[in-house]
Amino acid sequence: MTTQNLLVELFVEELPPKALQKLGDAFASVLADQLRAQGLTSADTAVTAYASPRRLAAHVSHVALKAEDKAVQQKLMPVSVGLNAEGQATPALLKKLQALGADLSDPAAAVAALKRAPDGKAEALFYDSLVTGATLDTGLQKALDEAIAKLPIPKVMSYQLETDCELPGWSSVHFVRPAHGLVALHGTTVVPVKALGLTAGCTTQGHRFEALVSPVVVPHADQYAEVLQSDGAVIASFAARRAEIARQLAAAAAKVGNGARPIDDDALLDEVTALVERPNVLTCSFEKEFLEVPQECLILTMKANQKYFPLLDAAGKLTNQFLVVSNISPEDTSFVTGGNERVVRPRLADAKFFFDQDRKKTLASRVEGLSKVVYHNKLGTQGERVERVRAIAKAIATQLGDAALVQDADQAALLAKTDLVTDMVGEFPELQGTMGRYYALNDGLGEVVADAIEDHYKPRFAGDALPRNTAGVVVALADKLETLVGMFGIGNLPTGDRDPFALRRHALGVIRMLVEKDLPLSLDVVLNSAWSVYEDESIQIAWGKAQGEKDLQALKDGGKGGIVAYGHSKRVAEENARVALADFIYDRLAGSLREQGYSAQEVDAVLALRPQRLAQVPQFLAAVRAFAALPESPALAAANKRVGNILKKAELEGPVDAHVNPDLLQEQAEKDLYAALQRFVPEANAQFDAGDYTASLQTLAVLRAPVDAFFDDVMVNAEQLDLRLNRQGLLKSLHEAMNRVADLSRLAS
């Protein structure tokens, strides 16, 4: 089939910059997918997305004027329903054929043309037809409507258009921004589609001030980007515009010299790319006196408020120069640079004022102010939260170190949130922790406490650095555990993609610190330390709605029974919350390990035992992987599964004691297994206790032969009670020895 390349553009008012790239990609992909679904594209079709501040466009190669006709076979109904005893069409069949557009001038011939084929247990009638392929006009209209409907619009606008009819009036249009133009070119031919009250043509608009012509005529679909850049002074491609900005930023920094470089910020680069159509990077400066303010403050205000690129020197220190990405290219750039310098000066002056004012009060003097800041309506104020974090931090620090660590962690936990009530953090919440460190150093608290105050928020995101010192790790753990326990306690659990309190991130942070810092802490112990701070009766733990309402009513009705029921429900709910939180952490750990390349089977085997020292988990996984590569592994995994099932049934009648009486061993196979356990298990246990988990499992691999012989020759559930219990005890000993590193039965296929 003959094809041409297709270009579709929507020209609109300024689009939301943070959503521009996503809007452009979605518009192009949905448009192309819909054309493909209608058979209007070929196998070698390529799609190019364009997105600028005022346009969304897509170039689709190899698009046909008309899709090929398609033979379709459609099931009608069972033969017994469609034909009567004489083989003639029933009314139901004739009605179905008429609905499909079949020629019924000769009903007998129409029935004869139907095909019979088995369909399950019965025979059915099938109708063959030729479906006419879609034309480009109708196919593109459908694709365009779908592309517009499926745009990931952050917020829809409504505006009015005058109706295109004899009767006066207005119609409402709902779109991300008011649309003013539509281009649809198949080669050089305009495709007469409509959208958002617009009819397609071959003209668009260029740069507001620097376009050479207006309107810009697009002669061919393949000339869109070229003509728009030459005549319209617009780089239509988001990627090309972004690359041009990056090139100009590097060139401008090189001109400044002394190893200067623009700050590396992909999000800022994306946002600026979405704000300009024809980028022009210019160098500006501000007074050096502002460099007395912490550079994080200056960088943030320039980036967040002005979309500037601060310049750093070779050592990574902020300079008094910055780069502006202008949307115009005047001959005299002094007006542009001067204007931007005048605009940024008050911002920097505000930052300096906040910094100077904040340093007039110590962090310790701000602790009382936290009692006036609500943390959560069910969990109290930030002041109450700080006391909980201090208690958890003290418990953890006591396990990890000496009195000095306890003191540093306690002081850092006390002051960690105080910068929330400073002017600087009030203006720039992103600086919480960072400003706490500066103010702590200003108060003479020392780097250990200052670093811990800044680092207690870490890790903030995947791949973020962990706290620099042990005090910081302790406070970071305490802070995240307090949040997790509190939110699980009141029932604020993540659901689907909603996680407003970042509990998944907090759990991963706890996991990373326990593992990567190789902390000798038990997960149950640190969780219990956190749960213990919520035992105050002023903090109510959530429980099931129905049970809660029932018990609350009983309490209102008065009497000891109501109070007892209320207390019982609270204890049950707290226990359920404890279990749910532990499950949540292990689930996050499992997901993290799978992302690191461990198989689901390996992860399942290790985490099935709920290891308490999370720092040991990577070593356990390495040992399991090495064990799985041994030739004895499949048989031992299967045997472990069998042993587990036997013990599970046996324990229904009571606990099985891992004790063996050698005098009750009768069969040679059970004697050999007992002897092997006596010989190799102590060695494996010693290796396990020394931390050589791989060697421990490999030592136990020699048990394959006696285990196989045991199951071949020995009846475990003997009728004689003492023999049965002794053999169960032997299997229990085997099971305990084999499954210290992981539940090896999970490796059985």
Q: What's the CA gap between 265 and 262, in Å, rounded? A: 9
Question: Do 521 and 481 form a contact (C-beta atoms < 8 A)?
Answer: no
Same domain, 332 and 382: no
Same domain, 627 and 720: yes
Is position 414 within any domain? yes
Question: Do 61 and 45 form a contact (C-beta atoms < 8 A)?
Answer: yes
- Residue 442 sits at φ, ψ, to 5 deg, of -65, -30
Same domain, 542 and 623: no
**Quick one: which of 682, 693, 687 has its CA closest to 741?**
693
Q: What's the CA gap between 205 and 646, in Å, rounded? A: 78
Is position 603 within any domain? no
Same domain, 484 and 369: yes
Q: What's the CA gap between 413 and 406, in Å, rounded? A: 10
- For residue 102, what pLDDT is reported? 81
Same domain, 544 and 688: no
Same domain, 309 and 436: no
**Quick one: which of 288, 350, 331, 279 has its CA closest to 309?**
279
- For residue 541, what pLDDT is reported? 43
* Unique residue bearing structure tokens 């290796």: 687
**Quick one: which of 405, 394, 469 has its CA closest to 437?**
469
Contacts of residue 52, defined as CB under 8 A and 6 or more positions apart, other chains included, come to 20, 234, 235, 236, 238, 241, 277
- Cα dist from 17 to 14, 59, 299, 326, 598, whole Å: 8, 22, 20, 15, 39
Is position 700 within any domain? yes
DSSP H helix total and E strand total for the chain: 27, 20
Question: Do 12 and 177 form a contact (C-beta atoms < 8 A)?
Answer: yes
- Whether this prediction's pTM lies above 0.95 is answered by no
Q: What's the CA gap between 176 and 198, in Å, rounded? A: 15
Which contacts (CB < 8 Å, 24+ apart) does range 647-656 have?
Answer: 647/728, 647/731, 647/732, 647/735, 650/728, 656/725, 656/728, 656/729, 656/731, 656/732
CATH number of the domain where residue 666 is located = 1.10.730
**Quick one: which of 490, 485, 481 has its CA closest to 573?**
490
Please say which residue of 232, 255, 286 terminates a domain: 232
Q: What's the CA gap between 434 and 588, in Å, rounded? A: 28
Same domain, 148 and 224: yes
**Quick one: which of 127, 121, 136 has its CA closest to 100?**
127
Q: How many CB atoms lie within 10 A of CB 334?
A: 9
DSSP class of 67: P
Is position 290 within any domain? yes
Residue 124 tokens, joined = 């059915």
**Quick one: which of 306, 236, 245, 305 has its CA closest to 273?**
245
**Quick one: which of 46, 71, 72 has its CA closest to 58?**
46
Question: Do 647 and 732 form a contact (C-beta atoms < 8 A)?
Answer: yes
Q: What's the CA gap between 734 and 726, in Å, rounded? A: 12
Q: What's the CA gap between 71 and 129, in Å, rounded? A: 6
**3-state SS class at 131:** strand
Please say which residue of 197, 232, 267 terminates a domain: 232
Count how many domains the chain has.
5
Same domain, 578 and 523: yes
Q: Which amino acid is at 12?
A: V
3-state secondary structure 401-439: CCHHHHHHHHHHHHHCCHHHHCHHHHHCHHHCCHHHHHH
- For the chain, residues with pLDDT lower than 70 are 1, 162-169, 535-570
Question: Do 397 and 391 form a contact (C-beta atoms < 8 A)?
Answer: no
Same domain, 226 and 252: no
Same domain, 153 and 211: yes
Q: What's the CA gap between 634 and 748, in Å, rounded? A: 6
633-659 burial: b if 16+ Cβ within 10 Å, else e: bebbbbbbbbbbebbeebeeeeebebe
DSSP class of 598: -
Is position 547 within any domain? yes
Same domain, 242 and 222: no
- For residue 312, what pLDDT is reported? 96
Is position 637 within any domain? yes
Please say which residue of 543, 560, 595 terminates a domain: 595
- For residue 681, what pLDDT is reported? 94
Torsion from C-alpha of 339, 342, 343, 348, nearest 10 degrees: 150
**3-state SS class at 249:** helix
Same domain, 626 and 569: no
Which contacts (CB < 8 Å, 24+ apart) does range 720-725 have?
Answer: 722/661, 722/664, 723/664, 723/666, 725/656, 725/657
Q: What's the CA gap between 473 and 456, in Å, rounded? A: 7
Domain, as residue range, for 696: 613-747
